[in-house]
Amino acid sequence: MEKSIIIIGGGLSGLAVGCYGRMNGYKTKIFEMHDIVGGVCTGWKRKGYTIDGAMNWLVGTGPKSSAYKLWEELGAAKHWKIYNHDLYSVYEDKDGKAFNIYCDADRFEKYLLEIAPEDKDIIKEFTKGIRDFSRTDMPVGKPNEIMTWFSKITVVKMLPMLMLMKKWLKISAGDFFKRLKNPYLRQTLTSAFGGDQWPMMIIFWMLGFQHAKAAGYVLGGALEHVRFLEERYRALGGAIHCKSKVVKILVENDKAIGIKLADGTEHRADWIVSAADGRTTIFDLLEGKYIDDAIKKRYDNPNLFSPLVYIGLGVADPVKEIPPAISGLSFPLETPITVAGKERRRLDVRTYSYDPAMAPQGKTVLITQFDTDYDYWEKLHKEPEKYEAEKEKIADLVVSLLDKRYPGLASKVEMRDVATPVTWVRYTGNWRGSYEGWQFSAETFTGSMKKTLPGLDNFYMAGQWVNPGGGMPTAAMSGNHTIQLICHRDKKKFITARP
Ligand SMILES: Cc1cc2nc3c(=O)[nH]c(=O)nc-3n(C[C@H](O)[C@H](O)[C@H](O)COP(=O)(O)OP(=O)(O)OC[C@H]3O[C@@H](n4cnc5c(N)ncnc54)[C@H](O)[C@@H]3O)c2cc1C
């Protein structure tokens, strides 16, 4: 008889758990609280425009990367159309001089050498780092918990790359670029790459994937990507129950045996997997009964992705002046502005003019985002009029700043939409609006976060709350690994299949 799995949460991780579960003969049911699946990997339609909420770059779109195999198995690679950007971003200084960050390392190197031939050695070291990391791959194989000697040997082969990662994790962009002699390049690269905020490893990694053309944009955006996975899951025979909020994980003798929904119904299965928010799972659904010091410490001192204020504009014009770039155009403001209580000196704007699915012909969607303080929005949301007024104020401000730069643009704006951290909490339950869970850091990189909870059997956690750094390929890998772990416990051979 088929064993069964209940999956809490129908984000990408939940869908991936479901697909691999079905491939391995489990009867699977996804319970999702929202009325659609996808979680934070989503988009929303407004007045004929689509505001994409997650698809900047997807690791695994290049056939050589191991994440590609996951996307093949999950039914996405067969259908998707990929757009590879030429530019990672365009960063303007106060004199209006544009600095291009190219996705191709050779082109970027040539460009940097033309600007600062005196910095040849450091520029070459920088672009070598990008090329080195363009050869990195995701460790998709087996989860740590069940690695065999053979798979450990494979990891040993990755040792030189792991050493390189460790080295560059300790050096910040600020520290690396301060060695440049050319003041323009020193200043621009330092601020464009976030100063001391990011380790060089992340920068090499991001640009390396671009250089290898391994992380493109799926045309149609996040909504389309989720559609591929949902269709694959349903074709494999999996069940989805939307508008089904889980309020409790049922436990008997320290074994997870089922779930209780908000409507009071109870459902049972042989295995329970939570692919939903970590804090909700551990402290609400399980009432904090299965924790240890490490979990307590992590949740008492959260190092999370900063939540966002996310402004989408539908413009009745292609706005060709804004170049397509992964993280967009960043330009300094003549006078600093205050958004949600925080001073801002720059505006970053992204165009989706390269994706016909996002806007009617001849029109485009622009997106501007600011990282923000969750508590500010949580408090404001308690006073709905003030909350709505603040959103309007931010939309007005962004439109007026863009109009100043591109005269006449304001009159062509026919759709405005503002999402806040509270929006993300409402639709996806992610703690404090952290749309990718835990920040990737030296600590989370080296320490392995457990997918089980101490003292609780028949239960796994999947997704971004047990895989620091989050992201879509991590969600896919997490689904694969969770089912490998369950198969291992059930003494079954783990299998995969392509559609
Ligand atoms: C603005 C933005 C940009 C991004 N850009 C990129 C990018 O370019 N590349 C990339 O790889 N990643 C990107 N990401 C991150 C990526 O989308 C996420 O890391 C990934 O989709 C997380 O998937 P998940 O399934 O682990 O979590 P989630 O998407 O959070 O899924 C959890 C699901 O659980 C459901 N749920 C929660 N509580 C309950 C409950 N009690 N009962 C039932 N259901 C429940 C939620 O509704 C949700 O559907 C971006 C995300 C955002 C928001």
Q: Which long-range contacts (CB under 8 A, 24 or more apart) does 286-294 make?
A: 286/249, 286/251, 286/453, 286/456, 289/251, 290/453, 290/454, 290/455, 290/456, 291/453, 291/454, 292/454
Neighbours of 392 (CB within 10 A): 12
Q: What is the mean pLDDT, run by run of 10 residues, along the chain of 499 residues?
A: 95 98 98 98 98 97 94 97 98 94 98 98 98 88 82 69 86 95 96 89 95 97 98 98 98 98 98 98 98 94 94 97 97 95 96 97 98 97 97 98 97 98 98 92 66 98 94 97 98 95
CA–CA distance, 424 with 408 (Å, rounded to integer) = 32
**Two tokens, residue 313:** 């504009």
> What one-character-per-residue DSSP string does 294-306 give?
HHHHHHHS--BPP
Confirm if 332 and 93 have CB atoms less than 8 A apart.
Answer: yes
Question: Residue 162 and residue 145: Cα distance in Å, rounded?
Answer: 19
Domains defined for the chain, CATH in brackets:
4-43+220-303+436-489 (3.50.50.60), 102-217 (no CATH), 308-419 (no CATH)
* Residue 419 near residue 53 (C-beta atoms within 8 A): yes
Q: Which of 472, 474, 478 to mutate to test the pocket of ligand 1 (most atoms within 8 A of CB)?
A: 472
Task: Enter the tokens of residue 30.
Answer: 């996804």
The whole-angstrom separation of Cα 139 and Cα 159 is 12
- Give yes or no for a contact between 134 and 211, defined as CB atoms under 8 angstroms apart: yes
Which pTM was predicted?
Answer: 0.96
pLDDT number for residue 486? 98
d(CA 57, CA 89): 13
Identify the bridge partners of residue 349 per DSSP, sorted by sequence position. 329
Query: Cα(87)–Cα(247) distance, rounded to whole angstroms?
Result: 45
Phi, psi of 128 (to 5 degrees): -65, -40
CA gap 126, 105 in Å, rounded: 9
Task: Please state, as a whole number, how many other Cβ atoms lie within 10 Å of the Cβ of residue 235.
Answer: 12
> Which of 435, 438, 466, 482 for mutating ligand 1's site (highest number of atoms within 8 Å of CB)?
435
152 alpha carbon – ligand 1 mean position (Å) = 30
By most ligand atoms within 8 Å of CB, the mutation choice from 436, 438, 461 for ligand 1 is 436
Q: In the prediction, which pLDDT does 151 show? A: 67
User: How many residues are present in the chain?
Assistant: 499
Q: Is 40 in the pocket of ligand 1 (CB under 6 A)?
A: yes
pLDDT at res. 164: 86
Q: Whose CA is nearest to atom 35 of ligand 1?
A: 9
Beta-carbon contacts of 434 under 8 Å, excluding residues fewer than 6 positions away, are: 302, 304, 305, 306, 307
C-alpha distance from residue 398 to each of 75, 189, 358 (Å): 38, 25, 20
Residues 162-173 as b/e (b if ≥16 CB within 10 A, e otherwise) read eebbeebbeebb
Sign of the dihedral defined by the CA atoms of residues 13, 14, 18, 19, in that order: negative
Give residue 12's pLDDT: 98
Q: What DSSP state is assigned to residue 362?
A: T
Question: Residue 414 and residue 314: Cα distance in Å, rounded?
Answer: 6
What lies within 8 Å, CB to CB, of 426 at 6+ separation is none
Atom of ligand 1 nearest to the CA of 245: 42
Residue 308 CA, closest ligand 1 atom number: 1
pLDDT at 446: 54
Kindly state if the Cβ of 246 falls inside 6 Å of ligand 1.
Answer: yes
Asked if residue 215 has its Cβ within 6 Å of ligand 1, the reply is: no
Q: Does the beta carbon of 32 lie inside 6 Å of ligand 1? A: yes
Through-space distance between the first and last CA atoms of the chain, rounded to whole angstroms: 24
Smallest CA separation from ligand 1 atom 12, residue: 471
Cα gap 374→308, rounded to integer Å: 9
Q: Whose CA is nearest to atom 41 of ligand 1?
A: 246
Distance of CA 255 from the midpoint of ligand 1 (Å): 27
Cβ atoms of residues 346 and 333 within 8 Å: yes
DSSP 281: I
Residue labelled with tokens 């989408």: 312
Cα-to-centroid distance, 303 and ligand 1 (Å) = 17
* Assigned token pair, 84: 């590879």
Q: Which residues, in sequence order, are CB contacts of 56 under 8 Å at separation 6+?
A: 217, 326, 327
d(CA 364, CA 356): 9
The CA 436 to ligand 1 mean position distance, Å, reads 7
